[in-house]
Structure 1
């Protein structure tokens, strides 16, 4: 659930639908105080282990968190939009009942997403957009040797290093100067930011490649960020092993062509000019209807 927005109305809609269809609604116990009756609170690991599907209420960040939750046992994840721009989420709160009916009737498709599995010491982290190693002010810069499939290729000395999936290539990696990867490209992109020496441009690797980053002795203390969220620190001598888990996330798509068209328009907001008809796609459906009525004089 979105950490700050009021999700109670959307949760109530899910509960009413579930009660009509004999289904049970579970919620992460950390969010139980934000919802009303008819919901059973469980710990996150039980939720991931037992749910048949997940409804994510928020924006893309919330959706990424839901996908990470069930990455070890992927189940369909439906995004209900309470965020801002939103590349992953598709359904508006007013359309939720219809969406749930369509899912119950099998009238949907699943969009598969790859994830990065990042091994740091004894810990394994999951990232659907990107892993970022970022310098912390006053604590030195990033210095890391890179190996691909156990063969060393060079080193990075920079302010930050971003490893992104194809879906995540439009986020931090793009802001750092990396390329946009088509979702049909089964690969990852490694992009340094503010490079001082070593490798200074983006590298595109296959999903089958195994990437290792070894922090050198001259490295500073770094923040390890997963999908934009700080997770832990990394220090000289630490090693990060990155591999790709295909089909780690299953996103529910009700109207894939419409969603893809709107996503292309949203993506063009990064730095491309828009045609009037493309701008129309960003408007809510009721507003588009009123605009069309004005145009036709109805």
Structure 2
């Protein structure tokens, strides 16, 4: 991304990331790089030094993206450019930030590292989900979730055209390796290395049928026929419609559909392991800080000098 001449910003839809956007704008100005963002975001946050563009231009004209938000913002940025992937740097302004590469306080050093060539790009696969007349991509997971009053999720799974088994559960999660630490993990599924290949199918609160996670190879297409219930479908956590009996969802894997920026000497992997290990503890986020190893804590903020 350090050679890109046009970088795009993807911003959290609610949180005020204008300060970080201004820091990125200052950096691009001194590095002969044009900075663009969606026109609605530019107007909402009154961004200076950022060229407003429509979503289609943002998706097709940039050499890289910087996502300022949380994991959802990063996933949205990756989906935005899935048709023609460009490197995406995730900067965490959210609560967990399993997928983001740097914390907000590390933004300046990350920009410097990219300018100096101290960054790499890692490919990520995505799920391609198809139904009658529509198609969606997901980098974390696709979830069929029970809607209160609409019955449980019931369906038949087929792998490579062969019937595999049936499900009756509250939710059915199809996850990429990168998304294995999300809903799949919460439902008792295994954690996979993001560099692994394949996908996971995990039921949540199964009543009958298949009750454990199934791992499917990366070239094995799967299909799920809904036999009862009217579950909601979520794509990377975004509500994307509702299914009903007789609907068939086809799921395949597309390799190298996303490109994530990795910063040299980043502590992102260490932080994610700590965050993952703390999820099951009955403590509030502020209380968890005391359990984080000293070497993983941010340095204390400098205290203002008092003048007598």
TM-score when normalising by structure 2: 0.86
Residue aligning to 1:120? 131
Distance 1:177 1:205, change over 3 A: same
- Kindly state the Cα deviation for residue 127 of structure 1 after the two structures are TM-superposed: 1.0
Distance in 1 (alpha carbons) for counterparts of 2:291 and 2:278: 14
Unaligned runs of 5+ in 2: 1-10, 283-287, 304-308
Q: Secondary structure at 2:293's aligned position in 1?
A: helix
CA RMSD of aligned residues (A): 2.2
Name the counterpart of 2:18: 8
SS of the counterpart of 1:36? coil
1:140 paired to 2:151 = yes
User: Which moved further from structure 2: 259-268 or 29-38?
Assistant: 29-38
- The question of 1:220 aligning with 2:234 is answered no
Q: Does 2:95 align with 1:84?
A: yes
Q: What residue ranges of structure 1 are gaps of 5+ in the alignment?
A: 291-298
Larger relative helix fraction: 1
Match of 1:153 in 2: 164
Secondary structure in structure 2 of the residue aligned to 1:178: coil
Q: 2:109 aligns with which of 92, 98, 101?
A: 98
Cα shift readout 1:185-220 (whole Å, capped 9, x = no counterpart): 31211011121221111111111211111112xx12
Pairwise mapping of residues 164-243 of structure 1 onto structure 2 (< 5 A)?
Answer: 164-216=175-227, 219-243=228-252
CA contact (8 A) 2:67 2:89 kept: yes
Secondary structure at 1:177 match in 2: coil
8 Å contact from structure 1 (residues 11, 35) kept in 2:
no
1:284 matched to which residue of 2?
298
- Contact persistence 2:113–2:264 (CA under 8 A): no
Q: Please give the alpha-carbon distance, in whole angstroms, between the structure 1 residues aligned to 2:34 and 2:86.
A: 16
Q: Give the length in aligned residue pairs.
A: 286
Distance in 2 of aligned mates of 1:251 and 1:272: 30
1:131 aligned to which of 126, 142, 160: 142
Shift of 1:55: 0.7
Could you state the TM-score of these two structures normalised by the residue count of structure 1?
A: 0.89
Q: Does 1:259 align with 2:289?
A: no
3-state DSSP of counterpart to 1:25: strand
